[in-house]
Amino acid sequence: MKNWLPSIFAVDKQISICADAFNHCSSLCPSESGVILAWYSGSGECQDDQSVYITYLSQGKSSTPLRIGDKTGNPIVWREDNKNWLLWSKFEDDGPMTSLAQRWRYCSLWVQQIKHTPNIELIGEPQRLAKSSDHLLARTGPLIQPKTTILPLYDEINRECVVYQGSIGEFNETSRFGGTNHIIQPTIWLEGRRLHSLSRNFGNGRHRSLYYFSDDYGHSWKFGGLSHFWNINNSLAICRYRKRHVALWNNIDSQYRKNMSIGVVEWVDAVPHPHLIQILNKEHGSYPCVCVSDDGSLHFAYTNHLRQIEYYVWNSAAFNKYLKRS
């Protein structure tokens, strides 16, 4: 791991993380006194040497990254029942393709328990969540509820959002939405008894993320219209922090992945607060992720213009400073 700066748990600190030349698609989840970070890296996008990597970050130190293996990608990590879990995809290459990027169409999905001591270790054997013929991928972490875990996925070929629910070893598909609008990579959050979702679109004359909601905990979804978040072919992420919902997205009316920004979400129809938006990176920034650690710090990351994972930690003082400055 390169470019590791010391003392990351300080106000407005940031670091850049890389394992190989190309680093992308990070995911974060809390664990004990720190967070687990997963991403994929290789000599290039969709090359055979592309692999998921996982590290544990705590008190200004990082564990030695664990490499999952060739042809793996799109990891997400989460904590459920005080255990940490990793989901990743694996290229199966068992369908027609005309480009390397189409390897994403034919991936199996796998889930496995992980722990850190402090280095990341795999526990037991991986369980297959989906076959390559399902064409499913993950992007954002699940929503953990008292009786079920809501896992957002998406169909890479049919360009629709897919929701699985259950627990480890017992996940089942419960709903799909957005197929007629061609959207993928949903981020899902809860406000009251309503689930909300914003997703990546592909333009088609619409330059904002499409908003969907569910009043039956994800078993059915209704189209709520265009949100106020710019989105032309970009991933975005939202999580709850200090009684607010924080969003990371490309705040630009363009297909170019610039102006990676953090902002506070207003209600009811998914509106970014106009005075609470801060640009993190005016250059290239993509595929953000965000989580809250047990000590109340906000952790977020995205892929920067150097194709490294740019990672931030804001404690409550830093977040309050952001609110005042914005």
pLDDT of residue 61: 83
Predicted TM-score (pTM) of the model is 0.93
Rg, the chain, Cα only:
18
The CA distance from 238 to 18, in Å, is 24
Domain positions in the chain are 13-325
CB–CB of 291/35 below 8 Å? yes
Token readout for 307 is 């194709």
pLDDT for 1: 39
pLDDT at site 11 = 42
Contact predicate 88/65, CB 8 Å: no
d(CA 91, CA 70): 9
* Tens-digit pLDDT string for the chain (326 aa): 333 333 333 344 578 899 999 999 999 999 998 999 999 999 999 999 999 999 999 887 889 999 999 999 999 999 998 999 999 999 999 999 999 999 999 999 999 999 999 999 999 999 999 999 999 999 999 999 888 999 999 999 999 999 999 987 689 999 999 999 999 999 999 988 899 999 999 877 889 999 999 999 999 999 999 999 999 999 999 999 988 899 999 999 998 999 999 999 886 566 778 778 899 999 999 999 999 999 999 999 999 999 999 999 998 888 888 888 65
Angstrom distance (rounded) from CA 156 to CA 107: 10
* pLDDT at res. 205: 80
Q: What pLDDT was estimated at residue 167?
A: 83
With helix as H, strand as E and coil as C, how does the chain read? CCCCCCCCCCCCEEEEECCCCEEEEEEEEEECCEEEEEEEEECCCCCCCCEEEEEEEECCEECCCEECCCCEEEEEEEEECCEEEEEEEEECCCCCCCCHHHHHHCEEEEEEEEEECCCEEEEEEEEEEECHHHCEEECCCCEECCCCEEEEEEECCCCEEEEEEECCCCCEEEEEECHHHCCEEEEEEEECCEEEEEEECCCCCCCEEEEEEECCCCCCCEEEEEEEEECCCCCCEEEEECCEEEEEEECCCCCCCCCEEEEEEECCCCEEEEEEEEEEECCCEEEEEEEECCCCCEEEEEEECCCCEEEEEECHHHHHHHHHHC
Q: Which two tokens stand for residue 204?
A: 């088609």
pLDDT at 89 (0 to 100): 98
Domain at 13-325, CATH from 2.120.10.10, 3.40.718.10, 3.30.70.2200, 3.20.20.70 = 2.120.10.10
> Angle at Cα 247 formed by Cα 144 and Cα 209, nearest 5°?
100
